[in-house]
Amino acid sequence: MSAGIYVHVPFCLTRCGYCDFNAVAGMDHLRSRYVAALLREADLVSGEWTEEEFVSIFVGGGTPTTLDPGDLKTLLTRVRARFRVRGDAEVTVEANPDTVDAVSLERLLAAGFERLSLGAQSFDGHVLRALERVHPPEAVRRAVRQARAAGYRNLNLDLIYGAEGETLESWERTLLETIDLGPEHVSAYALTIEPSTPLGRKVRAGLARPPDPDLQADMFLLAGETLASAGYQHYEVSNWARPGFACVHNLGYWERRPYAGLGAGAHAFRGDRRWWNVRPPEQYLQLVEAGRAPIGGEERLDSFDAYLEELLLRLRTLRGVPASWVYPGDAEPYLEGGLLEDRDGYLVPTERGMLLLNELVLGPASGPAGPGRRDAAPGARAIPGPGWPARTGPRTPPWGLLTM
Amino acid sequence: MKPGPLARHAGVRRLGAPYDRRGVTDTSRIRNFCIVAHIDHGKSTLADRLLEITHAVSERDMRAQYLDKMDLERERGITIKAQAVRLTHEVRGQVYELNLIDTPGHVDFTYEVSRSLAACEGAVLLVDAAQGIEAQTLANFHLARDAGLAIVPVLNKIDLPAAQPDEVARELAAVVGCDAADVLRVSAKTGEGVTALLERVVERVPAPGGAREDPLRALIFDSSFDPYRGVVAYVRVHDGVLPSRSRVRLMAAGIESDAEEAGVFAPEPTPVPELGPGEVGYLVTGLKDVHQVKVGDTITLSGKGAAREPLPGYREPKPMVWSGLFPAEGGDYGDLRDALDRLKLSDSALHYEPETSQALGFGFRCGFLGLLHMDIVKERLEREFGLELIATAPNVEFHVVRGSEVTVVHNPSEMPPPGTFDVVREPVVLATIITPSDYLGAVLELCQSRRGEMLDLRYLSPDRAEVHYRLPLAEIIFDFFDQLKSRTRGYASLDYEPWGYEEADLVRVDVLLHGEPVDAFSSVVHRDKAYQYGRAMVERLKELIPRQLFDVAIQAAIGSRIIARETVKAKRKDVLAKCYGGDITRKRKLLEQQKKGKARLRRVGRVDVPQEAFIAALRVDQRSGVRP
């Protein structure tokens, strides 16, 4: 099955208050050891992946471009040498505007990183400061110009909406500026307050206001309208692309295709198993340098987990869920309420539906314990379908689409 | 006969006991007395000291507040169950049998207090020398005096730096109608003055009357349930003799039984051959159902020796406060039923009947003597039986009158709609409040705002006033006590007694979620307060009900008339944003967590309401004084 490779680079110039990704600042002295470890890990684990053909490589972070383009080139060369990577595979590198310049961008493209994902976040200086991003809005425009000049034909801009002080008007300006720059792909994420982050602590202490979910809903819908009218297709909850530019690598996650993971905290998935590397970079280095696979944990997905993921992930995208997966009647309230559409036998979320995905999956309350539910039928088929026994017990829709 | 715990001390006799050769006590050497005191004024400590001084309890067995049996009682510092203990004490060469009858010290148990008093000839009126007289003391003093008891006024805690013995003695003397010099001064803590108190009891409390030859009449002033031996009645023999084993008749209950054993508390249960006139002790009744052995009933012998007339003053225990109890987990209904069945064995005042609520499912409508009784039952259900409960707001019993027909309603949701009946009557009480004069204005204001009618106001001293109000009981159970405490910085005290039923302009306020009435939130309130109640309820629910897929109207209504409304706006966003580096696991776990939370939702019509919302909405807010 066509697979992806994720490579994690944890280094950042500074740590942003909202971010709970596996990222560290001020550990630059570990860089060369880290690159060597990534090469070593590719050697160590590639033997497990001989069956898969890889259609995407994604170098993310952290900020991968804190590494020297030469190092990134060595890395990509090693990955291509160890894994069966298709010649036309999508190869993405993430970058922050202030870690790239005309020269480094040229070198990255020449090395084979043909897709560039820039962490723009916003074009409003106030918002960038609220997010503790160090670059000014101008840096994004400059980076895009330089990337285009270098020859990039596949650009993504990452945006975050809902920071403290951001208004609908400011968000609209950010969207319009983004469209002005003409990237092939736009990712727009609702700011989420993670409890373990500095921002999470501030919110708990009452020093910062959490995002207003209604405003974020308006921002989401505005993004949908604005980007659609500029020719972008909303193909996943947080992702928009011009035709032909949907991110192959990220689609792999939503479609539950296998992926390998290299680097501290990277996740891998194949079949019914998901596993992940240790998170702290030092620990990762020690294990790899000792010649051991740096695995930090794993899980086996039972049929329920697989079904829940399948439902959840499919509903994030325009693929939707085959109507036959859902008990007759369960989808009706959502179809009537305009949260789902029936497209040729597939239940596909509308813009409003995407905003209420958890609701679509779980329903407003857990449904009755029917014969298909997890407790009642351990080891049941992963995917329900026609011929499932009828549920018993009283119920009032909506229940959500989760039938097990 | 299987020996139970009561038989542990069988055969123990103490030296110097006032028995004649036949083991019969001379009534002139018996004194039956109780201690009347406000909570925390040191009654239990004094009882401990009395037990110690009379050597009824060895120092090794002495534990603080010996007579308070249940853990809960010791923790709350209150006495739920009356008990009696026999003390022997020598005064001027004569050995006396002193029966100390412990009375419950809370307004919920006024009737039990009155029965305990009926078992005595005297009462020690115990007052904290720092606090002065409280409402409860005063109310119980009036009960004691009306019952014809000799009063022994005593100041306690004279060792406290804050004690004002002279002032409080004057106050006490004025109430009792004696000379301030007659007020004894003791410290139950140090034991100072306690021996003098015993002498005073012997001197002032009359010996009981009654003749051995008369037909037996023994008053049941309390009962308890022993798992091995069934129902044990605490009795005071007024006339005749109660043999240890005999066929007895309970006159009000109209049942007979073979009593298995008579005994006295010395203080451990000790069997005796008989209880003679004036004596206090226990009877193992041979009955298994605590509801057959009612406080206030008269025990006589079966057959020819039976008395014709019972002792006066019997009354059926009557629940005053009702509340619905529902298991938080629907599946625990059977456990709740079993737990109530077990509690009932030892609590004859507890009433319950099955109730079905649309919102809360299967549960029980329970009747209690008062709020404290309700709290105790709830706490015991949760603590001893491990149940998690949702309790509806307490309400009183209403009498709905249609022509000549009277319907008793003790569930607000059963209250008929306006226009379908002639009048409603609600229970009223006579409340006694004692407050420092500084807070009198605040107290009067509170009582007025609670539909009170002032009956009397007088000053106990220049600093302290005594007020009598007629108040609807519904207003009292509506966090009145907490309000009183907060408005008087805890200095005022309250006591009340039932005062019949009176007509009132009461309406049922319903709460509707998305157009559906939620029976658990219905309440019967006075028409003038309906708006305030409805407003407070919808505002509180607005904070508690999570956003749904549609706008949820929360309305308060009288019949079909909406009196207050709030809206919970539809939820618009419920989605997990980004997944980092393929970490789908985390996303799925978050969703599974959310799913678990949803399992605790109850659906009312189309609206999902979390369990916690029911609990929080039904709680009387003690700080703000706003109910809901």
pLDDT tens-digit map of B124-158: 999 999 988 888 788 788 888 888 999 999 999 99
A333: nearest CA in chain B?
A: B549
Give the pLDDT score at B460.
83
- For residue B530, the tally of other CB atoms under 10 A from its CB is 23
Peptide bond into A62 cis (omega under 30): yes
CATH code for residues B217-305:
2.40.30.10
Mean pLDDT of A3-18: 93
- Lookup: tokens for B240: 């005749």
CA distance A53 to B355: 65
Q: Do A365 and B549 touch (CB under 8 A)?
A: no
Instruction: Find the CB nearest B577 among A238, A363, A364.
Output: A238
pLDDT average, residue stretch A34-47? 96
Q: Tokens 């390998």, residue?
A: A260
pLDDT tens for each residue of B535-545: 989 999 998 89
A266 touches chain B (CB under 8 A): yes
Q: In what order do the strands lie in the sheet with B255-259?
A: B255-259, B246-250, B298-301, B217-226, B230-239, B280-284, B261-265, B269-271
**B163 vs B132: CA distance, rounded Å:** 9
Question: Do B581 and A6 form a contact (C-beta atoms < 8 A)?
Answer: yes
pLDDT < 70 stretches in chain B: 1-25, 56-83, 104-108, 346, 577-581, 598-600, 620-628
- B74's enclosing H/E stretch is helix B71-76
Contacts of A238 in chain B (CB under 8 A): 577-578
What are the chain A neighbours of B582 within 8 Å (beta carbons)?
A: 6, 253, 259, 261, 266-269
Residue B136: which residues within 8 A CB-CB, separation 6 or more? B38, B39, B105, B106, B107, B493, B494, B495
B557: β partners: B510, B562
Question: Is the Cβ pair B587, A312 closer than 8 Å?
Answer: yes
pLDDT at A60: 94
Is B474:B467 a contact under the CB 8 Å cutoff? no
Within an 8 Å CB–CB cutoff, is residue A358 touching chain B? Answer: yes
Q: Note whether A356 contacts B576, CB cutoff 8 Å.
A: no
Kindly report the CATH class assigned to B25-204.
Answer: alpha beta
> If you measure CA to CA, which chain B residue comes closest to A158?
B578
Q: What does pTM read for this prediction? A: 0.69
Report the SS3 class of residue B131: coil
pLDDT value at residue B65: 54
Into which CATH architecture does domain B321-392 fall? 2-Layer Sandwich (3.30)
**B63: number of Cβ within 10 Å:** 10
| In chain A, residues 55-84 whose CB comes closer than 8 Å to chain B | 60
Nearest to A368 by CA among B326, B360, B601: B601
Domains B217-305 and B321-392 equal at CATH topology level: no
Residue type at B179 in one-letter notation: D
Q: In terms of DSSP bridges, do strands B361-368 and B351-357 run parallel, antiparallel, or are they unpaired? A: antiparallel
Domain boundaries, given as residue ranges, for chain A:
2-254, 303-404
pLDDT in tens, A318-359: 888 888 877 777 788 889 889 999 999 999 999 999 999 988
CATH code for B507-618?
3.30.70.2570
Q: Could you tell me which CATH class the domain A2-254 is placed in?
A: alpha beta
Task: Give the pLDDT confidence of A304-323 residue by residue, as tens digits.
Answer: 788 888 888 889 998 888 88
CA atoms within 13 A on the CB side of B191: 8
What pLDDT was estimated at residue A325? 79
Q: Which of B467, B441, B442 is nearest to B453 (CA)?
A: B467
CA distance linking residue B534 with residue B555, whole number of Å: 8
Distance of CA A272 to the CA centre of its chain: 20
CB-CB contact of B467 with B435 (8 Å): yes
Q: Which of B569, B577, B588 sits opposite A309 (nearest CB)?
A: B588
- CB within 8 Å: B606 and A396: yes
Please give the helix or strand (H or E) that residue B97 lies within, else none.
strand B94-102
- Whether residue B394 contacts residue B371, with contact meaning beta carbons closer than 8 Å, is answered with yes
Q: Please, which contacts does B587-596 make with residues 24 or more away whose CB atoms are closer than 8 Å?
A: B587/A312, B588/A305, B588/A308, B588/A309, B588/A312, B591/A308, B591/A312, B591/A358, B591/A361, B591/A362, B592/A308, B594/A358, B594/A362, B595/A362, B595/A366, B595/A402
d(CA A386, CA A287): 49
| Token representation of residue A299 | 């899980």
ipTM over 0.90: no
- Which DSSP letter does residue A194 get? -
Q: What is the CA radius of gyration of chain A?
A: 22
Tell me the pLDDT tens digit for each residue of B424-444. 999 999 998 989 899 999 999
Q: What's the gap in Å between the CA of B363 and the closest CA on chain A?
A: 20
CB atoms within 10 A of CB B325: 23
Share of chain B above pLDDT 70, in %: 88
Task: Return the CATH fold of B399-504.
Answer: Alpha-Beta Plaits (3.30.70)
Query: For chain B, which residues make up each domain, given as ranges?
Result: 25-204, 217-305, 321-392, 399-504, 507-618
Nearest chain B residue to A60 by CA distance is B581
Chain A CA closest to residue B603: A365
Residue B400 amino acid letter: V
